[in-house]
Amino acid sequence: MLLALLLVALVATLASGMVWQQWRAVQVEAAERARAQAAWILDGATEWARLIMREDGRTSSTDHGAEPWATPLAEARLSTFLAAERDSGADSDFDAFLSGSIRDAQARYNLRNLVDAAAGRVVADELRTLERLCAALGLGADVPARIGAALAQAWGPAAQAAPDRPLPVSRFEHLAWLGVEPAAVEALRPHADVLPRPAPLNLNTASREAIAAVLGIDAGTAERLAQRRQLRAFESLAQVREELPGNVELSETRVALASSHFVVVGRLRLEERVLEQSAWLYRNAGRVVVEGQRRQATLATSP
């Protein structure tokens, strides 16, 4: 009797182990299938954004917040595209939702302008711009100089040969690698960015703080510009000049009314799983290319 009980226990243990392994294999396969499907849809959304920006560049000479590309995509159900057998029992409760947005990356001050990479030095006029921006945000007076020195070291020609060279800085959040305090990074995030190349600030989409810093004007004048563009976007720098004091210089290398750099953010929710993808687009001469992508998987906290 004892031997029979031991055999039954052994068989039950082996059977439960086999069932668990089979269940785990099914779960892994389902997760991999969901990941692949989500990646396909997010890649498709990025291609759709490329088409939108290419068409916008063909039909419009300026970029502003009232254009179709600037309207975020509200969360929409996409279950029928992901489940081939929608009415089958296994997938009957399967739901997928897509949302996203396109952001003008030149709506923020480009820290790439701060450094002359060929010479490996900080540009004085751009450093003063960053100083004005940091002062408006209540940051310490030493923050701009430290950011400039760190970026010059990271981007300068000597950085490639130096054995102790800093980690490459290609995204705004990489400033933390250079020892910039998290509080300063978060304060600058809505008003500054790091683009792959120098680029002017788009006055049609930039924040009031960024406009005031780049043009060297007071907050009231920057507010007047922002209110004027709400009525109608600026179509030429001559229209901007009419709203500014006569001593303010408008350089086409520092300010513009159209943009070449955009950030596409897509968010796909599959039941309790969420996959977010950010893509950096560069539009030039009628072409729109993807210069980088990043994906992040999380758990949904709300429907």
Out of 154, 169, 189, pick the residue that ends a domain. Answer: 189
Q: Do both 254 and 276 map to the same domain?
A: no
Q: Do both 78 and 118 map to the same domain?
A: no
Structural domain count of the chain: 3
Do the domain assignments include residue 18?
no
Question: What domain range is 210 assigned to?
Answer: 200-258
Q: How far apart are CA 210 and CA 24, in angstroms?
A: 52
Q: Do both 178 and 223 map to the same domain?
A: no
Q: How far apart are CA 232 and CA 242, in angstroms?
A: 14
Q: What are the Cα distances from residue 94, in Å, to 3, 34, 208, 240, 301?
A: 47, 11, 44, 52, 18
Residue 36 predicted with pLDDT over 90 = no
Q: Assign 39 a pLDDT band (cuts: 50, 70, 90).
A: confident
Look at residue 66 in the predicted model and tell me its pLDDT: 93
pTM for the complete prediction? Answer: 0.83
Average pLDDT, the chain: 86
Q: Do both 97 and 127 map to the same domain?
A: no
Cβ contacts of 137 within 8 Å, gap of 6 or more: 187, 188, 191, 209
244 versus 10: the higher-pLDDT residue is 244
Q: Do both 165 and 96 map to the same domain?
A: no
Lowest mean pLDDT among 87-96, 212-221, 279-288: 87-96
Do the domain assignments include residue 70?
yes
Do the domain assignments include residue 271?
yes
Distance in angstroms between the alpha carbons of the first and the last residue of the chain: 55
Q: How far apart are CA 175 and CA 99, in angstroms?
A: 29
Residue 293 predicted with pLDDT over 90 = no
Look at residue 104 in the predicted model and tell me its pLDDT: 96
Q: β-pairing, 287-299 with 109-110? A: unpaired
Look at residue 84 in the predicted model and tell me its pLDDT: 47
Do the domain assignments include residue 10?
no
Q: Is 93 exposed, middle or buried (0-12, 13-18, 19+ CB in 10 A)?
A: exposed
Residue 127 predicted with pLDDT over 50 = yes
Out of 165, 189, 213, pick the residue that ends a domain. Answer: 189
Q: Do both 33 and 95 map to the same domain?
A: yes
Q: Do both 179 and 241 map to the same domain?
A: no
Q: Do both 175 and 229 map to the same domain?
A: no
* pLDDT, mean of residues 264-279: 87
Q: Assign 163 a pLDDT band (cuts: 50, 70, 90).
A: low
Look at residue 300 in the predicted model and tell me its pLDDT: 62
* pLDDT, mean of residues 134-145: 93
Do the domain assignments include residue 4?
no
201 versus 34: the higher-pLDDT residue is 201
Q: Do both 95 and 124 map to the same domain?
A: no
Look at residue 177 in the predicted model and tell me its pLDDT: 83
Out of 149, 167, 189, pick the residue that ends a domain. Answer: 189
Structure confidence by residue, pLDDT tens digits, 172-203: 988 888 888 999 999 999 999 999 999 999 99
Structure confidence by residue, pLDDT tens digits, 48-77: 999 999 999 999 999 999 999 999 988 888
Q: What's 92's domain CATH number?
A: 3.30.1300.30
* pLDDT, mean of residues 17-33: 77
165 versus 147: the higher-pLDDT residue is 147
Residue 281 predicted with pLDDT over 90 = yes
